[in-house]
Amino acid sequence: MSALDSKHAYLLTEIGYAAAMLGEGKSVDPIFDLLMKELPNNAAGAIGKAINALSDNNADRAVEVLEQHGLGKEVSADEARAIHLLALFLGGRKDDAEALAQDYLKGEGIAYAMAQSLFQS
List, for residues 52-97, the tens digit of each pLDDT value. Answer: 999 889 999 999 999 999 999 999 999 999 999 999 999 999 999 9
Contact (Cβ atoms closer than 8 angstroms) between residue 38 and residue 5: no
Crossing angle for the helix pair 94-104 and 110-119, to the nearest 10 degrees:
130
Q: How many helices (H) and strands (E) does the chain have?
A: 7, 0
pTM value is 0.89
Closest residue by Cα to residue 25 from 72, 65, 74 = 65
Specify which residues 101 forms β-bridges with: none
Gap between the Cα atoms of 35 and 41, Å rounded: 10
Q: Which domains does the chain have, with CATH numbers?
A: 6-119 (1.25.40.10)
3-state DSSP call for residue 42? Answer: strand
